[in-house]
Structures are given as structure tokens and as C-alpha cells.
Amino acid sequence: MGILTAAAAAIRRGLARTAEALVGLRAFLAGRRIDEALLAEVEKRLLAADVGVRTTREMVASLRRDWLAGKVSRGEEVVPFLKQELRRRWEGLDCSLARATTKPTVILVVGVNGSGKTTSVAKIAASLKAEGRSVMLAAADTFRAGAVAQLEIWSRRLGVDLVKGAEGADPAAVVFDAAQAAVARGVDVLLVDTAGRLHVQETLMRQLTKIRDVVARRIPGAPHEVLLVLDATAGQNAIRQAEVFTKAVQVTGIFLSKLDGTARGGVVMAIRDEMGLPVKLVGVGERPEDVEPFDPETFVEGMFSEDAS
Ligand SMILES: Nc1nc2c(ncn2[C@@H]2O[C@H](COP(=O)(O)OP(=O)(O)OP(=O)(O)O)[C@@H](O)[C@H]2O)c(=O)[nH]1
Ligand SMILES: [Mg+2]
């Protein structure tokens, strides 16, 4: 199996729940004429697929418009119509990681507890290294016992530099030191791992804002990317997280982790529509190589794949 096919298969598996809700849609639509009852059924299935209330309503409304205008009439036209609508929503949205014009590019990684931040930092480090770029890690999770050690193991295994502080140290101070070191050593990318925090923990959310401000002061234009790691199994809860983190640190993109699990990947569409945030990378396993750039086309195909298992 080629790399791309493997990625598509992993994404299809990750979309199993979403695709499950849409399985049988083609069979249901076959041979029917579009009418209000059919539109209601399509709406019900899109909602069950976690596509989100707003996206679903908009897509069904636009299908109704085209039907009333006589542009579509057959059930068979519905899935291609929906695919096109979904694809259109990603047009003009940049899914690639930001790259600063002067080194280093700073990528801040944030998210709720256990969402997969540290693993995702390792994955990004591994793929940048494979591209021949130099990477430094900043262990700014000084909060959870063992968090620094966890990142240290990754840094050794991947052969990348790490800047850390003592447990309980001010994470903003660690990030400041790391920014200094990254500039001094001329590394291409500084990846900042942060402590997990619930979006309702105001003090911790303020701490994140401070980390952001410190790095911005040391390196103009930084952070160039603020990735919010969202657990794909979190479903619609992800929207609320995205809102609060965006307020604190201006999230620029999503790393959708655990898409290989019992995933509810349809939420990607909801995040894109309600937050205007692109998914940039997807995590499809626990190893550093289990990461894929987000490809809307593969994603949309995966959603409507009838052979999802
Ligand atoms: N299956 C699967 N597991 C993942 C993926 N990403 C992370 N994990 C697992 O999820 C668990 C939590 O991952 P971490 O990277 O430690 O999460 P974190 O957000 O850094 O956690 P805290 O620092 O405690 O907030 C670990 O067991 C990881 O192996 C993924 O894409 N797929
Ligand atoms: Mg962590």
C-alpha cells in the first residue's frame, strides 16, 4: 500500500462513525426524486454524522435552492452536490504549516488535558526533521509531573534539542529561554509543548496568553503558528474548546489527533464553518510517523465512503 493510499485508508477508518451515519445514503437516494421528505432525511443523516447544525442547515438550504430552481431533481445528484459543497468550504483556506521568513519559525501547541499535544509535537518534529529542517523543543509543561521527562524521551529518540525548566517553573520563563536558544543556535523551528488545561480554567488560560506574549517579544512575528490539538473523538465539544483557546492565544490551525480511534471526524467541517479554522494536520496513531497533512479532498471522499469499517 502506498503512503497516500495508507493515509486515505487511515482517514477513512477515522471517519468510520461519520461515514456510518452516511452509509446507505446513496441506496436511500437511488431512484428517488428530490422532495421535502428527502431533504429532511438528508439533514437528519448529516447531523448524525457530526457535520454540525450550521453546516448541515446551510448545505440543505443550498440543496433546496438548487432543487427549487430546477438545477437538481434526482436523488443520485445529492451526494455529488454535498461533496462539492463541502469541498467549496475549504477553498482558499491554507492547510499548510506557517513558515517564518527569518528563523526560527515558532509553533505553539495548545489544548485540553490528554488531547495529544506532546505526541503531536513529537510527530511535527519528526516530519520537519525528515524534511531536513532543524528543530528545537521547548518543554513548557512544567505543571504535570513527568511531562518534561515525556518530552525529553521524545527529544532523545528523535535526536532534536530540548530546552526545559524545573518542574513547577514559570512556563513563560522556559519559553523565553528556549526562544533565546533557538535564535542563538539558528534552528529552523521551535516547537513549544504546553500543559494541558481545561478551557474553563481562567488562570491557566491567562498563563497561555503570557507564554504567547513572551515569545512575541523575543521573536518578532512569533508565534507563527498556534496549533490547537483537538481529540477527534471529542465531537461537538471541540467547538467550544476552539472558541476559548482562540480568545486566549489566537489559534491559527487545528491538529486533529486520534482520528484512528472511534472518531467523529465530521466535526472538522463544523470547526471550519463556525471558527474559520483550518485543520492542518491529522494524527492517526501513537507513533511519530502517524501524522498526515490534512487533505480536504481525501476527507470529503472519506466521509462518503461506503466501505468504511
Ligand atoms: N491512537 C492515537 N493515540 C494518540 C494520538 N495522539 C496521541 N495519542 C495518545 O493519547 C495519549 C495522550 O497523549 P499526550 O500526547 O500525552 O497528550 P497531551 O495533550 O500532551 O496530554 P497532557 O500533557 O497530559 O495534557 C497518549 O497515550 C498518546 O499515545 C493519535 O493520533 N492516535
Ligand atoms: Mg503533554
Alpha carbon nearest to ligand 1 atom 7, residue: 116
Q: Is 22 in the same domain as 144?
A: no
Q: How far is 190 from 226, CA to CA, in rounded Å?
A: 12
- The residue from 28, 57, 88 where one domain ends is 88
* In contact, 136 and 187? CB cutoff 8 Å: yes
Range of the domain at 59: 3-88
Q: Given 58, 88, 118, which residue is the final one in a domain?
A: 88
Q: Domain for residue 136, yes or no?
A: yes
**Is residue 100 domain-resident?**
no
- Which pairs from 286-291 meet CB under 8 Å and 24+ separation? 286/119, 288/122, 288/123, 288/125, 288/126, 288/154, 288/157, 288/158, 289/123, 289/126, 290/123, 290/260, 291/120, 291/123, 291/124, 291/126, 291/127
Question: Which grid cell sits at 276?
Answer: 474559520
Are 161 and 167 within 8 A, CB to CB?
no
What's the CA-to-centroid distance between 30 and ligand 1, angstroms?
Answer: 42
pLDDT in tens, 284-309: 899 999 998 888 888 888 778 765 44
**pLDDT of the residue at 198:** 85
Same domain membership, residue 189 and residue 82: no
What does the alpha-carbon distance between residue 44 and residue 161 come to, in Å, rounded to a whole number? 50
Residues 38 and 117 in one domain: no
**Within-domain flag for 160:** yes
Residues whose Cβ atom is located within 5 A of ion ligand 2? 117-118
What's the CATH code of the domain at 73? 1.20.120.140
Q: 67 and 23 in one domain? A: yes
Q: What does the pLDDT look like over 240-265, one tens digit per residue?
A: 888 889 989 999 999 999 887 655 56
Q: What is the DSSP string of the chain?
A: --HHHHHHHHHHHHTHHHHHHHTTHHHHHTTPBP-HHHHHHHHHHHHHTT--HHHHHHHHHHHHHHHHTTS--BGGGHHHHHHHHHHHTTTT---SPP--SSSPEEEEEE-STTSSHHHHHHHHHHHHHHTT--EEEEEE--SSTTHHHHHHHHHHHHT-EEEE--TTS-HHHHHHHHHHHHHHHT-SEEEEEE----TT-HHHHHHHHHHHHHHHHHSTT--SEEEEEEEGGGTTHHHHHHHHHHHHH---EEEEE-TTSS--TTHHHHHHHHH-PPEEEEE-SSSTT-EEE--HHHHHHHHT-TT--
Distance 141 CA to ligand 2 centre (A): 7
Instruction: Point out the ligand 1 atom lying closest to the alpha carbon of residue 122.
Output: 15
Q: Quick check: CB of 117 below 6 Å from ligand 1? A: yes
Q: Phi-psi bin for 238: left (phi > 0), alpha (psi -120 to 50), beta?
A: alpha
Average pLDDT over residues 218-236: 90
**Is the CB of 141 inside a 6 Å radius of any atom of ligand 1?**
yes
Both 19 and 118 in one domain: the answer is no
Contact 169, 153 (CB under 8 A): no
Q: Is the CB of 265 under 6 A from ligand 1?
A: no
CA-nearest of 21, 2, 5, 4 to 308 is 21
The backbone torsions φ and ψ at residue 32, rounded to the nearest 5 degrees and listed phi first, read -95, 160
Residues 121 and 226 occupy one common structural domain: yes
93 occurs within a structural domain: no
Average pLDDT over residues 78-87: 93
The answer to whether residue 13 scores a pLDDT higher than 70 is no
Tell me how many domains the chain contains: 2
Ligand 1 atom showing the smallest separation from residue 283 Cα: 31
CA 242/CA 247 separation, integer angstroms: 9
- For residue 26, pLDDT beyond 90: no
Q: Is the CB of 147 under 6 A from ligand 1?
A: yes
- Is the CB of 115 within 6 Å of ligand 1? yes
302 assigned to some structural domain: no
Could you read off the pLDDT of 113-172 as tens digits, one per residue?
999 999 999 999 999 999 999 999 999 999 888 999 999 999 999 999 999 988 789 999
CB 305 near ligand 1, within 6 Å? no
Confidence of residue 53 (pLDDT cuts 50, 70, 90): confident
Q: 95 or 17: which carries more pLDDT confidence? A: 95
Give Dmax over CA atoms of the chain in angstroms: 67
Same domain, 182 and 208: yes
Give 4 or 309, the one with higher predicted confidence.
4
Q: What is the pTM of this model?
A: 0.87
Same domain, 27 and 167: no
Confirm or reject: Cβ of 287 under 6 Å from ligand 1: no
Distance 194 CA to ligand 2 centre (A): 7
Residue 301 counted as domain residue: no
Q: Which ligand 1 atom lies nearest to the CA of residue 197?
A: 25
Give the CATH number, domain containing residue 234.
3.40.50.300
Same domain, 158 and 196: yes
Strand bridging mode 105-110 / 189-194:
parallel
Q: Assess whether 144 and 286 both reside in one domain.
A: yes
Total number of residues shown for the chain: 309
Question: Does the pLDDT value for residue 79 go beyond 90?
Answer: yes
Is residue 98 in a domain? no
What pLDDT, on the 0 to 100 scale, is given for residue 266? Answer: 73
Domain boundary among 88, 118, 133: 88
Is pLDDT above 50 for 3? no
Do 63 and 112 have their domain in common?
no
Residue 215 belongs to a domain: yes
